[in-house]
Structure 1
Amino acid sequence: MHMKHHRTEDLATLAARMFEDIRALSADAAGVSRPAFSDKESETLAYLAERARAEGLSVSEDAGRNLLFSLPEHESADRFTVIGSHVDSVPMGGNYDGLAGVIAGLIVLISARRGLRALPRPVKALAMRGEESAWFGACYIGSKLLTGSLPEGEFNAAHKGDARPLSAHLETLGIDTAAVKARQPLCDLDRIEAYLELHIEQGPLLVERNIPAAVVTGIRGNFRYRDIHCIGQAGHSGAVPRAYRHDPVLAFAELMHRLDGTWQHLLHTGKDLVLTSGVVGTDPARHAIARIPDEIAFSLDIRSQDAATLDQMQAYLRDEMTDIGRSRGVRFDPGPAVAVAPALMDPDLVGGLERAMAAVTGDAFSMASGGGHDAAVFAQAGVPSGMVFVRNRNGSHNPDEAMEIADFMVGVDILSTYMEARP
């Protein structure tokens, strides 16, 4: 692909054109599809490389077949700050989830290359592969490869489309699967001073508060029960008096009511928490309007930035299930829990980014991230990490993601201002 060099193009126009070119490159029936470790992902990286070289940046490839961009004078720097994110998308997803963070890193570098901003410390922009779980059922694969933290089960995970294992897809790209299997980091983590990631907000807070961007304080961990069963006793809806009922639906309702009350109490006392029961139902083959169901199944997803709050909620949930089970004559069978640890952003980075945001917008705003990000993987690997959110309407992982370029440029400005002030 040959591209003209628009030397006079301002940074916001350049960013918008890059987003639109990649949208066209990866368009699907709805939205965009850039599958993890696919040719489409490689084409996106090739486009970004050509655009970066046209701006006079150095481009290199790492052992995970990700791309690193830098100012020519920083290409062989011993230590550097990474500004990165991922280029893959969910099937028929939005164009900004992941890609915004990659283009942000490029714009920070292009701004410095054009002499508009200073970069006293070396910065490398990182365009990563394979963050979305939609393709192999495992998330953050690219950053787990770099940090040597990919579990064996994920190494063998089958692709949703062609059923080939992840290991085969990595081998096709020429990635050293022996190192991956041995859980050896594919990059030298000691060389990374900090990992910074710009990302669209996936919830409504910035839209509701009319704020263009935010500094992220931490990424919520969670524990999840995919399939809790509350088992009671079936009966005729008209013939069984309340005193003799073992109604699992009312037991579930009472549990959710108690959890909701505790959630509100914890928020009032300054704790961070969200909880959701997204899958709820009685057995469709047996439920009926005139029948007390004998069983209800439901999911539970409880998230917090604070590990102690998660532990407290897990103990509280167990106690409430026991108590309601006893009082209503039902039994809760929660099945196995799946847990992910919270990842706090580095306090010095949070403070520095807040100062940069105050300088750019006049007022700093910080918040927790409900969704997971590559930054969590780097943080858990011991790399000081920080994040900036950009306002975005209509959520993420859908074709209606709506980030404004003006808001994006506020986020980029926060990153550049932070890097200029870094001691």
Structure 2
Amino acid sequence: MSCPVPDVDLGRQLFDRLRDIGFDGRGMTRPSYGREENLAHALFMDTACGYGLEIRRDWASNLFLTLPGRDRNLPAVMTGSHVDTVPCGGNFDGAAGAVAGLLVLCSWVEAGFRPERDTTLIVIRAEESVWFPLSYLGSRTAFGLLDPSALDMPRSDDGVSLRQHMLECGAEPGLCGRAPVLDSAKIDCFVELHIEQGPVLPEAGVPIGIVTGICGSTRYRSIVIHGQYAHSGATPRRFRSDAVMAGASMMVALHDAWKKVEAAGEEMTLTFGVCQTDPGQANFAAVSGRLELVIDIRSRDEVLLERMNALVIEQARRVEADYHVQVDLGERTCSTPAVMDETLQVEARILAAAMGLPVISMPSGAGHDAATFAGQGVPTEMLFVRNANGSHNPDESMEMDDFMHGVRLLERLLRKRAGQLLPRTSAYGWG
């Protein structure tokens, strides 16, 4: 057996093809359970078929690509990520982890390496919850955690139900709650490579991050503040029921609370990603009678998330009284924080040191499917790859050299867990 060497040219080809599939004229749009996500999954199946990997899809159309191990009764090593995007996103969010896992398995086939245990890449459906209002939809289905009632959720762009979208891409939603699903006891570990979606690694000048934990969230996706439309010049302040001013007051109060949380040394983020009046009725000369907004609060501290949620409710009631409006918060959705496996973190740091590869430890402020695996008791780790310009925008900028350093570290970590002793080899260009 030769030492596996992941193929950078294959990686470039896959990213180029994913760009061709998802380009919307400005960025990448591959909607969850949509045509472009389906084409991306087909690309992975076609490539895996060429390397002789086992191909399987579960009832929800999550894709499993496996290199069989010598002992198929041993718990499997798993890696993977998603290939759907937010609207007008970048080409590397999620896709980098799926491509990395495929490069690892293909390099093992090329090198003639057969692991002791099954090693599986899962290309996960519907990670981006902008399309359906549920975090980690695909990985939840993989573990049997989806309530069948969720199948009636409409997709945000077309209003068509999750059930119908599943049927159109060959999934079998009628098996929800009845089909075989992943068993955490049969999974040795799950390792997800992902681009960093913030500025930490570029600022530190380091290519790879070893993730310590993943933030949970509390979200309100459909808040509506109902006021009263009125003439802007003829309505004194004491007579107004101004939805915009009520929303502004609520947002400022929550932002001030965030600053106090940070000053106390606690960790969280707060985002108002949508704030809009009704374009059909709001106008320059009217007090606005309706405001729509969303709230996204994230932290690794569940107690803090609950404390902030209580504050959201408190502020909604306050502005109702102060501004004579009605605040409809809508449904609250949540995800649970996840802690990464300490043993996997140590193993990753040791392997990186043997490669001469600089790394830092860091938390993930964004959510990832890895949190679902960790929540099911699977030893889980994430590897971040340096990426300029953030994420969830068309300007993601991951260098292929950084990506391949991450792939090589992933390959060694998976190979170690799959039961093969690692040879002592030289560094990858780092002094």
Range class of TM-score, shorter chain: 0.7 to 0.9
1:24 aligned partner: 20
Written as runs of structure 1 = structure 2, the 5 A alignment for 1:185-224 is: 185-224=180-219
| Structure 1 unmatched runs, 5+ | 1-7
Q: Compute the displacement of 1:59 (Å).
A: 2.2
Work out which of the residue numbers 334, 349, 367 in structure 2 matches 1:340.
334
Distance in 2 between the 1:38 and 1:278 partners?
24
Please, which of 383, 386, 391 is the counterpart of residue 391 of structure 1?
386
For structure 2, the residue ranges without an aligned partner over 5 or more in a row are 420-431
* Conserved? CA contact 2:6–2:107, under 8 Å: no
Distance verdict in 2 for CA 1:29–1:22, change over 3 Å: same
- Equivalent residue, structure 2, for 1:79: 75
What SS class does the counterpart of residue 218 from structure 2 fall into?
A: strand
Does the CA contact (< 8 Å) of 1:179 and 1:186 recur in 2? Answer: no
SS at structure 1 position matched to 2:103:
helix
Give me the whole-angstrom Cα distance separating, in 1, the residues matched to 2:237 and 2:43.
69
Taking a change above 3 Å as real, the CA distance of residues 298 and 129 of structure 1, as seen in their structure-2 partners, is closer
> Quick check: 1:102–1:127 contact (8 Å CA) kept in 2?
yes
Structure 2 CA distance for partners of 1:394 and 1:363, relative to 1, 3 Å: closer
Give the structure-2-normalised TM-score. 0.77
Does the Cα contact within 8 Å between 2:86 and 2:128 map onto a contact in 1?
yes
Displacement of 1:307 in angstroms is 1.2
Partner in structure 2 of residue 3 of structure 1: none
In structure 2, give the amino acid aligned to 1:69: L
For the aligned residue pairs, the C-alpha RMSD in angstroms reads 4.0
Aligned pair count? 410
Q: Secondary structure at the match of 2:360?
A: coil
Whether the aligned pair in 2 keeps the contact of 1:390 and 1:403 (CA below 8 Å) is yes
Deviations 1:359-394 (A, max 9, x none): 553342312232x32223333334333222222233
Picking from 402, 410, 420, the partner of 1:415 is: 410
Structure-2 change in CA distance of 1:295 and 1:35 (3 Å) = closer
SS for the counterpart of 1:194 is strand
**SS of 1:312's equivalent?**
helix
| Residue identity in the other structure for 1:124 | T
Query: What are the superposed Cα offsets for residues 25-73 of structure 1, whole Å, 9 maximum, x if unpaired?
Result: 5555444454444565454334334433544x52221334444334344
1:63 to 58, 66, 74: 58
Checking the alignment, whether the CA contact within 8 Å between 2:207 and 2:386 is kept in structure 1 is yes
Rounded to whole Å, the distance in 2 between the matches of 1:255 and 1:110 is 52
Shift of 1:262: 2.6
Instruction: Look up the equivalent residue of 1:170 and give its one-letter code.
Output: M
**Quick one: which amino acid aligns to residue 377 of structure 1?**
T
Q: How far is the alpha carbon of 1:308 from its aligned partner? A: 0.5
Q: Residue 345 of structure 1 contacts residue 387 of structure 1 at CA under 8 Å; is this kept in 2?
A: no
Q: Which of 265, 271, 280 is matched with 1:276 structurally?
A: 271
C-alpha displacement of 1:162:
7.2
Q: CA deviation at 1:314?
A: 2.0
Secondary structure of 1:23's counterpart equals helix
Q: Are the equivalent residues in 2 in contact too, given 1:96–1:200 (CA < 8 A)?
A: yes
Q: C-alpha separation between the residues in 2 aligned to 1:362 and 1:143? A: 31
Deviation at 1:282, TM superposition (A): 6.0
Counterpart Cα distance in 2 of 1:170 and 1:325: 41
State the distance in 2 between where 1:352 and 1:78 align: 20
> Equivalents in 2 of 1:296, 1:42: separation in Å?
36
1:146 matches 2:142? yes
Q: Distance in 2 between matches of 1:295 and 1:166?
A: 29
Instruction: Work out which of the residue numbers 368, 373, 381 in structure 2 matches 1:378.
Output: 373
Is residue 235–residue 293 contact of structure 1 (8 Å, CA) maintained in 2? no
Contact 1:150 1:183 (C-alpha < 8 Å) held by counterparts:
no
Q: In the superposition, relative to structure 1, how do residues 319 and 71 fare at CA in structure 2: closer, same or farther (>3 Å)?
A: closer
Structure 1 residue 294, shift from structure 2 partner: 7.1
SS of residue matched to 1:365: strand
The 3 A distance-change label for structure 1 pair 245 and 194 is same
Say if 2:109 is the partner of 1:131: no
- Following superposition of structure 1 onto structure 2, how do residues 232-381 of structure 1 map, counting pairs within 5 Å? 252-280=247-275, 285=281, 298-320=293-315, 328=322, 330=324, 333-348=327-342, 349-357=344-352, 359-360=354-355, 361-370=357-366, 372-381=367-376
Structure 1 residues 46 and 77: CA distance shift in structure 2, 3 A? farther
Moved more, 198-207 or 357-366: 357-366
- Residue among 97, 108, 111 paired with 2:104: 108
Q: For structure 1, which segment, 353-362 or 232-241, has the greater mean C-alpha deviation from structure 2 after superposition?
A: 232-241
For the 8 Å contact 1:216–1:369, the answer to whether it is kept is no
Q: Deviations over 1:60-114 (max 9, x none)?
A: 2133444433434458353112101123344554322222111111222234444
CA 1:332 to 1:52, structure 2 compared with 1: closer, same or farther past 3 Å?
Answer: same
Partner of 1:69, secondary structure, is strand
- Tell me, in whole angstroms, the C-alpha distance in 1 between the residues paired with 2:237 and 2:56: 71
Which moves more between the two structures, 171-180 or 211-220? 171-180
Q: Tell me the amino acid that sits aligned with residue 102 of structure 1.
A: A
The question of whether the paired residues in 1 share the 8 Å contact of 2:32 and 2:131 is answered with yes
TM-score, normalised via structure 1 length: 0.78
Q: Which residue of 1 aligns with 2:426?
A: none
1:258-307 CA deviation, whole Å, 9 max, x = no partner? 43333223223332211122333567746657x77677654332221221
Question: More displaced, 11-20 or 202-211?
Answer: 202-211
Helix, strand or coil at the partner of 1:143: helix
In 2, the alpha carbon distance for the partners of 1:305 and 1:48 equals: 33
SS of equivalent to 1:400: coil
Give 3-state SS (helix, strand or coil) of 1:364's partner.
strand
Q: Secondary structure at the match of 1:302?
A: strand
Task: Confirm or deny: 8 A CA contact 1:277 1:298 kept in the other structure.
Answer: yes
Report if the CA contact (8 A) 1:94-1:396 is conserved.
Answer: yes
Deviations 1:131-158 (A, max 9, x none): 3446556564432321112233331334
Structure 1 stretch displaced more, 155-164 or 171-180: 155-164
